[in-house]
Amino acid sequence: MTIDDLQARFAALCVTAGLDLREGQELIVSAPIEAQSFVGHVAGAAYRAGAPLVTCLYEDPSLIRARFDHGADEALDCAPGWLSDGVVKAYEGGAARLFVYGPYPDLLTGVAPERIGRMHAAMAAASAAEGAFTADLRVNWCAIPFVTQSWARIVYPSMPIAEATDKLWNDVFDVVRVKSADPIAAWRDHLAVLETRCQGLQALDLSALHFVGGGTDLRVGLAEGHQWVGGRSRAANGALPVCNFPTEEVFTCPHRDQVEGRLAASRPIALGGIVIDGLVVTFRNGVAEHVEAREGREMLEGLLSGDKGARRLGEVGLVPCNSPVARKEVLFYNTLLDENAANHIAFGQSYSACIEAGRDRNIAGANTSALHIDCMIGHDAMDVDGVLKSGERRAIMRAGDFVLD
């Protein structure tokens, strides 16, 4: 099969296994212009699945760059809240959302980090209501990776660009199981493993997780009534989307006041064209008090100062270090893949799906923020213990792999 054939299969898988698009449901896609032909495959699949309308909000990276090159500093406080309000209206009308995430890591080279942070803060504030819709699973949504040339260039810098792009597409096709003889069956089996893992962790009724290894010694208290989630999630409209595609993680909600110790990131974080590398963070009473990084510290500090919840954790995720993504042994510079290679935490907003239904998420200890930034901490020398309510400890992972299953 050609790359285009596999893209068409991938697009169809995103609409069915990914979004679980319902018949009669409108679909909003966000994608870079570079993804136009892929979006065409998505639209075809969605219309065949009974969508009445597919609208793509195309993103043009050169317009973002033009803004930094020709616009004024104060102008960065202006964000298209009107567009975000429009999307909220579509959600209220029942629309599903597909995020075709194609990174442009070199887009903002040379731009001052505080200017980038200023733009992100304004955008996050203007799109808070839109973000809450997907964070709370009020609609079915799915985020998928798309291979841009800009992305392929940093993953495989020594290859000619066409070769790098093809190679990275093949990586993506592997980790999303699109090359399987029966991708739908492969996903069903994989989702069953994640479901069993969630049930095992849920049954332990943990009060905390303790991560040790590779410079990290971090105790993450869990929210009251936290729920382990992995693979599919039930959206408020009844659909069962896989919100991140691929997904290898099981994850839950930390308690926003109960994170203590030291975190050393095991992989860089790539954010809006800026890389945060060599990150070390110290937590006390849930707050990221001290932030160090070899690269991108100011950018991260800017983001973490965006609102009160930005310095606290909203997610903790467990991933075996032998996952298909990890086995690639490539640093993808892309959270959507890298977080499926390693244990991770996230700064900022927590997912309501990770709190028992009917509980007040605020009282339970869930965190609220306009941000959600994943940070990888796992690797093959990491042990994870579960701390039971009795104080007793249970081995969850050893040397990066699950010992619980």
Q: Which residues bind its own copies (CB under 8 A)?
A: 26, 33, 36, 39-40, 43-44, 47-48, 50-58, 60, 62-63, 66-67, 69-72, 74-75, 77-87, 89-90, 93, 95
Q: What is the amino acid identity at position 314?
A: G
82 binds, among its own copies, Zn ion, none (CB under 5 to 8 A by kind): its own copies
**Minimum CB distance to Zn ion smaller for 239 or for 253:** 253
**Minimum CB distance to its own copies smaller for 80 or for 356:** 80
Q: How many Å apart are CA 119 and CA 113, to the nearest integer?
A: 10
374 binds, among its own copies, Zn ion, none (CB under 5 to 8 A by kind): Zn ion
346 binds Zn ion (CB under 5 A): yes
Measured from the CB of residue 403, what is the shortest distance to its own copies in angstroms? 48
338 binds Zn ion (CB under 5 A): no
Q: How many Å apart are CA 385 and CA 330, to the nearest integer?
A: 27
* Opening angle at CA 16, ends 355 and 7, nearest 5: 120
Measured from the CB of residue 18, what is the shortest distance to its own copies in angstroms? 18
**Minimum CB distance to its own copies smaller for 63 or for 181:** 63
**Minimum CB distance to Zn ion smaller for 246 or for 296:** 246
β-strands 383-388, 280-284 pairing:
unpaired
Q: How many Å apart are CA 293 and CA 271, to the nearest integer?
A: 14
Q: Which residues of 338-373 are buried (b: 16+ CB within 10 A; e: fewer)?
A: bbbbbbbbbbbbbbbbbbeeebebeebbbbbbbbbb
Residues with Cβ within 8 Å of residue 259, at least 6 apart in sequence? 218, 219, 220, 221, 283, 286, 287, 312, 313
187 binds Zn ion (CB under 5 A): no
Q: What is the 3-state secondary structure (H, E, C) of 236-297?
A: CCCCCCCCECCCCCEEECEEEEEEEEEEECCCCEEECCEEEECCEEEEECCEEEEEECCECH
317 binds, among its own copies, Zn ion, none (CB under 5 to 8 A by kind): Zn ion
Q: How many Å apart are CA 114 and CA 329, to the nearest integer?
A: 33
119 binds Zn ion (CB under 5 A): no
Q: How many Å apart are CA 358 and CA 343, to the nearest integer?
A: 28
**Minimum CB distance to Zn ion smaller for 144 or for 164:** 144
Show contacts with Zn ion in window 233-262 (CB under 5 A): 249, 251
117 binds Zn ion (CB under 5 A): no
130 binds, among its own copies, Zn ion, none (CB under 5 to 8 A by kind): none
251 binds, among its own copies, Zn ion, none (CB under 5 to 8 A by kind): Zn ion
Q: How many Å apart are CA 91 and CA 86, to the nearest integer?
A: 9
Measured from the CB of residue 296, what is the shortest distance to its own copies in angstroms? 25
Coil, helix or strand at residue 207: strand
Q: Which two tokens stand for residue 115?
A: 């200017």
Measured from the CB of residue 40, what is the shortest distance to Zn ion in angstroms? 29
Measured from the CB of residue 144, what is the shortest distance to its own copies in angstroms? 18
66 binds, among Zn ion, its own copies, none (CB under 5 to 8 A by kind): its own copies
Task: Tally DSSP H helices, then E strands, for the chain.
Answer: 13, 19
Measured from the CB of residue 92, what is the shortest distance to its own copies in angstroms? 8
315 binds Zn ion (CB under 5 A): yes
317 binds Zn ion (CB under 5 A): yes
39 binds, among its own copies, Zn ion, none (CB under 5 to 8 A by kind): its own copies
Options 17-25, 192-200, 263-271, 308-316: segment touching Zn ion (CB under 5 A): 308-316
β-strands 141-145, 96-101 pairing:
parallel
Measured CA to CA in angstroms, residue 30 lies from 41, 42, 102, 142, 221 at distances of: 14, 11, 10, 11, 35
Contact residues for Zn ion, defined by CB under 5 A:
249, 251, 315, 317, 346, 374
